[in-house]
Structure 1
Amino acid sequence: MAQLACSVIIVSYYTNGSLFECLAALFAQQTDDLTIEVIVVDNGNPASDSKRLATLAAAQRIRWLKGQGNIGFAAGCNLGVRHASTDTVLLLNPDCVAEANTMRHLLTFLQTQPEKTLVSGWVTNPDGSEQRGLRRNLLTPWSLFIEMLPLVKHLPPLARRRLNLTGQPLPPVATIRVPACSGACMLLPKALYEQLGGMDEGYFLHVDDLDFCLRLQQQGGQICIQRNSVFAHYQGTSVVSGKRVARHKRNSFNRYFAKHFPRFWRSPPGWGLRLAIAINYWLSKSS
């Protein structure tokens, strides 16, 4: 049987016990013919968690990158990939827990695909339901505008064009092609990641994954979701202010549209979308 190998990049910031549940699930999947290199990019953790990470690093169970401070998700991913020693990398959120044989399924599938392929597992809520944001359209002014419409779910033609496709009918197949996916779980060749320039470090948190998916599609790549490779995602485990997260999301949307849709962003409709993003931020901030 061919040897499988992957470097898993986990960017952690005060994610508490879920990080160690994530690590345990990865350790359990390693076999003689499946090597999993685990790289934890420590953007900040409590002293008790740092002690546990130090123990794992001393036992050579993980590579522990620390001391850089909180550099954000995108920069953390890039740092981790630079230290990866295998030809395949998996960007994985620290609160994603892989079911048995998930890594083998993903890696075996990737080997059968063209070189410009990104694969996501089937990311679920803890109750097993599909997580919002797993299946996505590309982020455009139109897809975001529809996403912000409160009655969009009652208008099926528009719902198919919204940013998040959760709730749309699923084809009866194991592999789904999508325009974009969540950054919670992204498996791809390291060479492809480097060819695309990695994650854009101008994003601190949020939207960096959508930017990456857009650049991959522009290079003729494809994005697949493997439904038989399940990760339970305990979303929002980081001890971070909701106001701070909302501010980063607003800033990231602004950066994305200024970067990829500059003419629109300077036009009157662009100013209207800026206002909608700002209003959404203030509503999130006050809730």
Structure 2
Amino acid sequence: MNTTPFTGLTIVTVLYRSGEMLAQTLPTWARSAGELPVRFVFADNWPQDGCEKVIAEHFDEARYEYLPDSSNPGFAAGCNRAVAAATTSHVLLLNPDVWLPDDALDRIHAAIAEDPETPIAVGLAMHGGEYVGISLNPISLFIDRPASATRAALGPSGGAAVFPTELFHRFGGFYEHLFAWGEDADLALRLYASGSRTRALDLVLPHAGGHSVEGDNKLQGFRAFLLARNRLLVAARTFTWPLMLVAIPVLAVAHLALAARRARQGLLRPFLRGVGRGLLDGPAARRQWKGRRFGFASLYGYLTVRRA
């Protein structure tokens, strides 16, 4: 019996250098929302590029909240701030470079109403593939889960994820120190360890992917740094000690392979700085999560249970 009521949906979007992209995608959001009881909260981490004007052109003032922060606290902090402003029972985390088909929000509404307690992974089509949620991977630790995978999703991807608002708050939302890239995997592992499972919705949304760093070498380097650091921090925070002892040599070998890839991309230096920072920050990151951790029992369940 469901105990979480469905009292509405807030779409939560973090913006960063998103003005041109939002001008393309937001009209599709407005059409899909139509007369549905959907609200919008935008956390803008780069407010100087005109996103506020684009939003005002498409939505009445009463339908959205705009939260600018020129200090750019990161995607994770932006999501947490926007979810804190939501007054509905559910939130849909949606990247600004995602287009919504006309029936998308109708279908998401119906899926929530069917089972309000369970997080939902919404599919994304990007870079020539289709992905739904997050998977574990022995090399990169977490990856986008192919839509054709037989194994169920570990959790939703932050690019298109539905959460009961209370559940998101109860688990502390995203770990803000991660800044960006990996915060959704961190939450997914913590939710999975607690027994919370994610449903995959048979809906795939067109997604540009990477608009905030595209064409900027400095930001590409920052992304390589964060991914290297955050893999280690996610493992340190969410794995039990027995699983961590097994994971350490696997991660060491994996990072050698990743280092070779980053060297070919000209991103070896930020990658190595990320590894070093991850090793330094790992103990403090672990202390900051006091809940259940992902261990061998969780791993066995994840590896053996197939999607419905």
TM range (shorter): 0.7 to 0.9
Rounded to whole Å, the distance in 2 between the matches of 1:40 and 1:56 is 13
SS of equivalent residue, structure 1 residue 216? helix
Asked if the contact 1:265–1:271 (Cα under 8 Å) also holds between the matched residues in 2, the reply is no
2:146 equivalent among 149, 166, 173: 166
Amino acid at match of 1:277: H
* Aligned mates of 2:91, 2:246 — CA distance in 1: 41
* 8 Å CA contact retained: 1:93, 1:185: yes
CA gap of 1:216–1:69, structure 2 versus 1, over 3 A, is: same
Contact 2:122 2:156 in 1 (8 A): no
Question: RMSD across aligned C-alpha pairs, in angstroms?
Answer: 3.1
> In structure 1, what is the Cα distance between the partners aligned to 2:124 and 2:12?
17
Q: Secondary structure at the match of 1:225?
A: strand
Q: Output one character per residue of 1:111-137: Cα deviation in whole Å (capped at 9) or x when no partner.
A: 11151x11122211276x414xx3433
Q: Tell me the secondary structure at the aligned position of residue 286 of structure 1.
A: coil
Percentage of identical aligned residues: 23
1:25 aligned partner: 28
Alignment of 1:49-60 (within 5 A): 49-53=51-55, 59-60=61-62
Tell me the alpha carbon deviations over residues 8-61 of structure 1, each in whole angstroms, 9 at most, x when there is no partner: 1100111232223332222112344x1221111001144344543466688445
CA–CA separation in structure 1 for the residues paired with 2:234 and 2:31: 38
C-alpha change, 1:40 and 1:270, in structure 2 (3 Å) is same
- Find 2:12's aligned residue among 9, 12, 27: 9
**Which one of 221, 233, 239 corresponds to residue 261 of structure 1?**
239
Say whether 1:238 aligns with 2:218: no
Q: Distance in 2 between matches of 1:167 and 1:198?
A: 25
In 2, distance between residues paired with 1:109 and 1:41?
26
Question: Is the 8 Å Cα contact of residues 13 and 41 (structure 2) preserved in structure 1?
Answer: yes
Residue 208 of structure 1: how far off its partner (Å): 0.7
TM-score by length of 2: 0.72
Residue matched to 1:125 = 126
Q: How many residues align?
A: 256
The corresponding residue for 1:159 is: none
Give the unaligned 5+ runs of structure 2: 1-5, 268-308
Unaligned runs of 5+ in 1: 149-161, 171-175
- Which structure has greater helix proportion? 2
Secondary structure, aligned partner of 1:95: coil
> Match of 1:196?
171
Distance 1:87 1:250, change over 3 A: same
SS in 2 for 1:98: coil
Cα distance change on mapping 1:281 and 1:9 into 2, 3 Å = farther
Contact in 1 for aligned 2:12/2:41 (Cα 8 Å): yes
Shift of 1:6: 1.1
For the residue of structure 2 that corresponds to 1:183, the secondary structure is coil
| Alpha-carbon displacement from aligned partner over 1:186-225 (angstroms, at most 9, x marks no partner) | 1121111112211111211111111111122122212112
SS at match of 2:33: coil
